[in-house]
Structure 1
Amino acid sequence: MLMFIEYSTVFAYVIGIILLYFLGKYLVVPMKTVLRLIYNSLIGGISILVINFVGGNFNFHIALNPVTAFIIGTLGIPGVFMISILKKLFEI
């Protein structure tokens, strides 16, 4: 028993596979950016915990919330200095 597949069906499969390839390629790039931001925020949160652990001896702590973790995770060491200066500046 021989099965014949029409050219239009083969063409539709090929076009579908090509579209899936390009769609997947364009969705991976934003996903990498989102994963990098999440990773940096986690690193920022860990650095805030370390600062709070060490700063506890000097009566200094930084609130651990998504905003401060994101700022410190994104900016790194300058973010730590910025948050510390802002905390001291707005302290009553």
Structure 2
Amino acid sequence: MEPIVIISVIGGLILLLLVAGAPLKPVRLVGQCFIKLIIGAVFLFFLNALGGNIGLHVPINAITAAVAGILGIPGLFALAAIEYWVV
């Protein structure tokens, strides 16, 4: 593909977003939930990397990533406590 076509398409998409402004709240909500899910997975990755020294491993799946992403650090500590003491 020609670079001018790619630049034109990207410019057109940016212009469309500036005009429309993404007024749909559900789209914005889904995007925010997806970002929180990614952040939760990153939190769990670092917990597993650092917790490997003491034998702590919390599996990274959609449920645990959602808990860690939505609740943040307290949710991460809760998952670690559940894994360490209960399971």
Give the TM-score, by structure 2 length. 0.70
Question: What residue number does 2:79 align with?
Answer: 83
Query: Could you say what the CA RMSD is over the residues aligned between the two structures, in angstroms?
Result: 1.6
Q: Is the 8 A contact 2:57 2:83 kept in 1?
A: no
Give the structure with higher Rg (CA): 1
Tell me which stretches of 4 or more aligned residues in structure 1 moved more than 6 Å.
none
Q: Taking every aligned residue pair, what percent have the same amino acid on both sides?
A: 28
Question: What residue number does 2:59 align with?
Answer: 63
Q: Specify the code of the residue in structure 1 equivalent to 2:67.
A: I
Give the Cα–Cα distance (whole angstroms) in 2 for the partners of residues 57 and 84 of structure 1: 14
Give the Cα–Cα distance (whole angstroms) in 2 for the partners of residues 56 and 89 of structure 1: 16
Q: Specify the code of the residue in structure 2 equivalent to 1:37.
A: C
Distance apart, 1:88 and its partner CA: 2.3
Moved more, 78-87 or 30-39: 78-87
